[in-house]
Amino acid sequence: MEINHNNELLPSVNSLTNMDDYEQTYKDFNWEDVERHFTWYETGKCNMAYEAIDQHVEAGRGDKIALIYSDAKREESYTFRQLRDKSNQFGNVLRKQGIGKGDRVFIFMARSPELYICLLGILKIGAVVGPLFEAFMETAVKDRLVDSSAVALITTPQLLGRISKSETPDLKHIIVVGELENPDDSVISYHAEMEVASEELELEWLNRDDGLIIHYTSGSTGKPKGVYHVQNAMIQHYFSGKVVLDLRDDDVYWCTADPGWVTGTSYGIFAPWLHGVTNVIRGGRFSPQDWYSTIAKYKVTVWYSAPTAFRMLMGAGDEVISQYDLSSLRHVLSVGEPLNPEVVRWGYKTYGQRIHDTWWMTETGAQMICNYPGMGIKPGSMGRPLPGIEATIKDDKGNTVPPYTMGNLAIKAPWPSMMNRIWNNPDKYEEYFRVQGWYISGDSAYMDDEGYFWFQGRIDDVINSSGERIGPFEVESKLLEHPAVAEAGVIGKPDAIRGEIIKAFISLREGYVESPELKEDIYRFVKEGLSAHAAPREIEFKEKLPKTRSGKIMRRVLKAWELNLPTGDLSTIED
Ligand code: PRX
């Protein structure tokens, strides 16, 4: 395929001015040097919550602000000592229920200080945390709880109705944060239990390969998969926090991602707190005014966000910017989807900041290919592999291809934060490593002759809408539950703001006729049954959908229809 390469370069900002300096700095890099930072390098026993919170208290930084939380109703801050004590209490609340090491404990709630306290408390007793995005509806929640055999769930009164207790037999404990209108014995009150829980807790010391977190994410086939990470990931969280986020002691850091997604934990919780920096969490919804005022009010210095947000901010115009003092910003980063070169140029012009694109995935656990302080930024490129990470482009046979050739973006395995398994699904895990010694990402990309990587697209049918990863199968399965739907095929349709939106092609059952009301009804059905971000914003009815002889809907053909492209090889089509 023809590659249209752009050679623009924004020079680096800090002391390292060119690639030679950069290469020199990391010439002798090895991960063991990073491990020496942790006490467990000597003791052999670790715990992420200890490294992120308690050790700062022990080191005399207990009074430093760890968390600034705000939304339309609340504004609170917590020191490292307060977070240590409260998470100890919550660890005790869980232990009282007999929950312990290795148990899967899920959190299903909107951002709030309690979410962070609960998450740390879960980790302190060695349980594995499973964060769920608040927009999930009943089916999405149930699938994840069942697959992971979660024993406990922490949620809020608003979301309690989305948990189907009869279909989640392993779920023994539901802890509710907030007042219930009709208190009921089958759930545990967070506030009542916290009131009587001790602040002293014997921490569960773990091995590096003991569990940390499960994030459910989507592939092109099957239900969402549970990407399971272990304690060892902290090595890379810490290191990337240093070289990519460039975190320093007096930073005020804001990652805009929700902990329901991997960015919101690896970089919304672990990396900043491993560095002991003040972490800003802003609840509620996006608006340019709200976000700019968050930066101005808390004097945010390092800001990690996503292309859809930057595109919306760009769309809101530069006049909004002039109403806020954004001069505290020192470093701005982006992740989750392709960052358009014009957005990088706009950021440079308006904030005077280079927006640093970073590439990684739920499976990689931490940043892998990035633009970071110390290297020149090429707008449109994801950057270069982190020290200690080897990335390359491979053809479908597993051979490395020369620069400027498009192929499979592959990473040499293992690395410290690599997923440890796909929960309950060893075959899925093996698929990623089908080329001996390499992790095949599912993204296509090329490398230029200076070792910068350029994202080209997904190889599979996974959809990326506003940086949220959506598996077409999950949406199609939900659509098929609608009484009017006979067949459904779902694709990502290019969109200027969201990157992609979800489009569904649907054939109707006998007796149903297409209408705007029916479209609306189907949209709502997915929105209310699965989640808002998975609902098809566009629906097109078709008499018949293209299928293989084995009955599999050919999304590739749907996509070609949509984009007016040639449909390619149709030899396997049904008729
Ligand atoms: O396709 C790539 C895209 O997001 C996918 C990973 O999604 P998820 O596991 O949800 O993790 C997102 C945040 C870590 C990748 O396979 N992606 C991620 N970062 C970038 C990107 N696409 C282009 N440029 C990026 N910087």
By most ligand atoms within 8 Å of CB, the mutation choice from 360, 381, 441 for ligand 1 is: 360
pLDDT of residue 182: 84
Residue 362 Cβ contacting ligand 1 at under 6 Å: yes
pLDDT of residue 17: 47
At residue 384 the predicted structure's pLDDT band, cuts being 50, 70 and 90, is: very high
Residue range 544-566: mean pLDDT, rounded: 88
Please, what is the average pLDDT of the chain? Answer: 93
Output the CA torsion sign for 408, 414, 415, 416.
Answer: positive
Locate the ligand 1 atom nearest the alpha carbon of residue 468 and give its number.
10
**CA–centroid distance, residue 463 to ligand 1 (Å):** 10
Structure tokens at 223: 């239900």
pLDDT of residue 14: 45
3-state secondary structure of 185: coil
Locate the ligand 1 atom nearest the alpha carbon of residue 257 and give its number.
13
Output the CA torsion sign for 507, 548, 459, 402.
Answer: negative
Q: 109-131: per-residue pLDDT in tens?
A: 999 999 999 999 999 999 999 99
Q: 62-73: per-residue pLDDT in tens?
A: 999 999 999 999
Distance from chain centroid for Cα 4 = 30
Residue 34 Cβ contacting ligand 1 at under 6 Å: no
**CA–centroid distance, residue 136 to ligand 1 (Å):** 20
**CA–centroid distance, residue 128 to ligand 1 (Å):** 24
Residue range 410-414: mean pLDDT, rounded: 98
Locate the ligand 1 atom nearest the alpha carbon of residue 215 and give its number.
9
**CA–centroid distance, residue 7 to ligand 1 (Å):** 23
At residue 4 the predicted structure's pLDDT band, cuts being 50, 70 and 90, is: confident
CA distance 76 to 67: 8
- 136-to-131, 217, 330, 568 alpha-carbon distances in Å: 11, 13, 35, 36
Q: Which of 43-52, 345-354, 415-424, 433-442 has the lowest mean pLDDT?
A: 345-354
Residue 262 Cβ contacting ligand 1 at under 6 Å: yes
**CA–centroid distance, residue 120 to ligand 1 (Å):** 26
Residue 55 Cβ contacting ligand 1 at under 6 Å: no
Residue range 446-467: mean pLDDT, rounded: 93
Residue 475 neighbours by CB under 8 Å, 6+ apart: 488, 490, 502, 504, 526, 530, 534, 535, 536
Residue 211 Cβ contacting ligand 1 at under 6 Å: no
Task: Identify which has the larger pLDDT, 240 or 12.
Answer: 240
pLDDT exceeds cutoff 70 at 574: no
Structure tokens at 118: 């609960």
Residue range 350-372: mean pLDDT, rounded: 95
Q: 247-277: per-residue pLDDT in tens?
A: 999 999 999 999 999 999 999 999 999 999 9
Task: Identify which has the larger pLDDT, 367 or 182.
Answer: 367
State which H helix or E strand residue 426 sits in. Answer: helix 426-432
CA distance 12 to 70: 34
Residue 336 Cβ contacting ligand 1 at under 6 Å: yes
**CA–centroid distance, residue 488 to ligand 1 (Å):** 26
**CA–centroid distance, residue 336 to ligand 1 (Å):** 4
Residue having the nearest C-alpha atom to atom 5 of ligand 1: 361
Name the β-bridge partners of 279.
67, 253
Q: 496-547: per-residue pLDDT in tens?
A: 999 999 999 999 999 999 999 999 999 999 999 999 999 999 999 999 999 8
Long-range contacts of 570-573 (CB under 8 A, 24+ apart): 570/546, 572/548, 573/546, 573/547, 573/548, 573/549
Runs of H (alpha helix) within 216-287: 234-243, 262, 271-274
Residue 245 Cβ contacting ligand 1 at under 6 Å: no
**CA–centroid distance, residue 473 to ligand 1 (Å):** 19
Residue 466 Cβ contacting ligand 1 at under 6 Å: no
Locate the ligand 1 atom nearest the alpha carbon of residue 357 and give its number.
26
Residue having the nearest C-alpha atom to atom 10 of ligand 1: 469
Residue 230 Cβ contacting ligand 1 at under 6 Å: no
pLDDT of residue 185: 86
Q: 281-322: per-residue pLDDT in tens?
A: 999 999 999 999 999 999 999 999 999 999 999 999 889 999
Residue 464 Cβ contacting ligand 1 at under 6 Å: yes
Residue 356 Cβ contacting ligand 1 at under 6 Å: no
Residue 539 Cβ contacting ligand 1 at under 6 Å: no
pLDDT of residue 16: 42
Structure pTM?
0.93
Angle at 244 between CA 388 and CA 322, to 5 degrees: 165
Q: 11-57: per-residue pLDDT in tens?
A: 655 434 455 666 777 888 999 999 999 999 999 999 999 999 999 99
Contact call for residues 262 and 362 (beta carbons, < 8 A): yes
By most ligand atoms within 8 Å of CB, the mutation choice from 409, 443, 454, 461 for ligand 1 is: 443
pLDDT of residue 2: 59
